[in-house]
Structure 1
Amino acid sequence: MVQDSWQRTIEYVRVSLTEACNFCCPYCRPEAITPDSQTNLLTPDEWLVILEAFHKLGIRALRLTGGEPLLYPQLDRLLKELQQRAWFEDISMTTNGSLLADRAERLHKLGLQRVNISLDAVDEATFDERTGRTGQLQSVIDGIEASLAAGFKTVKINTVLMEALSDDMVRSLLAYMDKWPVIWRFIEYMPFQGQKFRGPTFEMWHQQLERLCGGRLLPVGSATNTKAVTGFGPATYYRLPQGHLVGFIFPMSHSYCESCNRVRLTSDGRLRLCLLRDEEADLVGLVRQGKTAKELAQHIVNILQLRKEQHEGTDMDVPQRAMWRIGG
């Protein structure tokens, strides 16, 4: 296992395969993706050298993201190669779900173990506003249900809290929890695209859920048997009075920097040390110079020692690289 200079063990890497996306969510991108988002993509062979280096460092979990990772033209080949090598004990994907219905079963057969699907609203009008598209809610619902049928280890739903939700909106989400055997995670809004932080904060959301559920949210520990269900991500998990498992990811008002176990790879092959900081290192450039996975691994060890102890929370400067250029 590899550690940074703050003795945090890095065991989880998130890979953005493409900046392209068929949605236009306001917290991620201000306008539709440009055509050049699908040019200069890393090839599966380039990704495999980089990922072998992380494997040599003891990384246990890999998450494929975008943009929308299902738009990466060589996704199936990359998954097949990873399945054959068996480098990682956990391979997952974050997707908007709209393209998933016809591919969920095949992706599962290719070794994908978990999917996280973005769903910021369950009514058509709000969903259209959140995604910058019209008429796509049903395609996402179909993707969720196809994923449940495909047999993934877990299916998680991600809801970004762009502002405080009305009680009626929260009740609608709770109704879908009764319908689907999923883990629902709530994600704090983060200040990208030149915007400023806005709530609800961790405490506000926690209190609202307890009030509407009619009882306390019980913390769920981080034991090994729990991680088998919840995965390697940063969420803090709670059990609702009704029994449903929910996750909170609130990096601004409830920082988890002291336990951060992950780094990100952008779609242009750069290692990003923190989502909310702009320090990056070019890895694909070294691969294209002929560096081996072993040589790359040592370079990564050195770069990881530059990680900061924490970000500045709600007082931070807005990152220069837009969210859609970092990876979801």
Structure 2
Amino acid sequence: MNVPTTVFWEVTNKCNLNCAHCYLGQSQEKMRLSREAALKFTQWLHDGGVETVLLMGGEPLLYPYLHDVVKKAGRHGYSQHVGVLTNGQLLRKHVVDKLADSGVSAVQVSIDGLGSEYKKIRGVEFCKVDEGIGHLKERGILTQAKFTINRKNLNAFDDVWRYCLGRGVLLGTSLVLEMGNAQSG
């Protein structure tokens, strides 16, 4: 039987933003697993042979049991392969400290532009993300950025590339899924 080695787990669809290209859109039902169900699912992933778990959302930092899931996955022996995919707005020092203490090894932050380009897509300022990346780097957590390519930010890629190079952040790209908010433009 073939087993996936990597699982992308949407721990919640609740989010603190309403991004222009979000595949969830505004009709989020704010769903999440209970702590008990999440820990049971984490065990099931381990028993099934999964090596890497990437926790996403919505915004996974809003999931109240995120650190419990990261700790449990770490106890199963794949802690160097537990990552969190976040919009970065909630990466305060105490949050990053808790992530590091839980055993997370990588955090991927969405960066779709800097300054006005970022605000146009995300509806908020970039400065909190920049501060959060600083906290991640201070704690030695592997920090990655994801640039979602869309019509509104094509010209911003060079600036994001230079920013990531200067901060020691790995950069990847993805395309917009034409669903949710992305359907309207």
Please classify the TM superposition score into its range, dividing by the shorter chain length. 0.7 to 0.9
| Structure 2: unaligned runs, 5 residues or longer | none
Deviations 1:157-192 (A, max 9, x none): 0010012723xx333123213311111111112211
User: 20, 31, 35: which is aligned to 1:26?
Assistant: 20
Does residue 127 in structure 1 map to residue 126 in structure 2?
no
* Alpha carbons of structure 1 residues 177 and 74: separation in structure 2 relative to 1, 3 Å: closer
1:96 CA drift (Å): 0.6
Structure 1 pair 162–81 and aligned structure 2 pair: CA distance change class (3 A): same
Question: For residues 28-107 of structure 1, what are the structure 2 equivalents within 5 Å?
Answer: 28=22, 29-31=24-26, 36-37=29-30, 41-86=32-77, 89-102=80-93, 103-107=95-99
C-alpha change, 1:56 and 1:157, in structure 2 (3 Å) is same
Larger Rg: 1
Structure-2 change in CA distance of 1:82 and 1:178 (3 Å) = closer
- Rounded to whole Å, the distance in 1 between the matches of 2:181 and 2:58 is 19
Is contact 1:94–1:116 with CA below 8 Å preserved after alignment?
yes
Partner residue of 1:142 out of 119, 131, 135: 131
Q: How many residues align?
A: 181
Alignment of 1:90-239 (within 5 A): 90-102=81-93, 103-123=95-115, 125-131=116-122, 133-134=123-124, 136-152=125-141, 154-163=142-151, 165-166=154-155, 169-193=156-180
Partner letter of residue 140 of structure 1?
V
Unpaired segments ≥5 residues, structure 1 = 4-8, 199-328
Query: Deviation at 1:194?
Result: 8.0
Judging changes above 3 Å, is the alpha-carbon distance between structure 1 residues 193 and 106 closer, same or farther for their aligned structure 2 residues? closer
Alignment partner of 1:54: what SS?
A: helix
Secondary structure of 2:15's counterpart equals coil
Opposite residue 187 of structure 1, the aligned amino acid is: S
Tell me which protein shows more helix as a share of its residues: 2
The TM-score normalised by the length of structure 1 is 0.51
Q: Which amino acid is the alignment partner of residue 162 of structure 2?
A: A
Contact 1:55/1:88 (8 A) holds in 2: no
**CA displacement at 1:97 relative to structure 2:** 0.7
Q: Where has structure 1 moved over 4 Å in runs of 4 or more? A: none
Q: How much has 1:84 moved relative to structure 2?
A: 3.1
Q: What secondary structure does 1:25 align onto? A: coil
Give the Cα–Cα distance (whole angstroms) in 2 for the partners of residues 47 and 160 of structure 1: 28
- What CA distance in whole angstroms lies between the structure 2 residues aligned with 1:121 and 1:70? 21
Aligned-pair identity in percent equals 21
Q: What is the identity, as a one-letter code, of the residue corresponding to 1:26?
A: A
Aligned residue for 2:180, secondary structure, equals coil
CA 1:181–1:195 in structure 2 vs 1: closer, same or farther (change >3 Å)? Answer: closer
| C-alpha separation in 2, matches of 1:174 and 1:15 | 27
Amino acid at match of 1:55: H
Say if 2:6 is the partner of 1:15: no
Give the TM-score taking structure 2 as reference length: 0.86
Cα drift, residue 78 of structure 1: 2.6
Q: Kindly state the Cα deviation for residue 101 of structure 1 after the two structures are TM-superposed.
A: 2.4
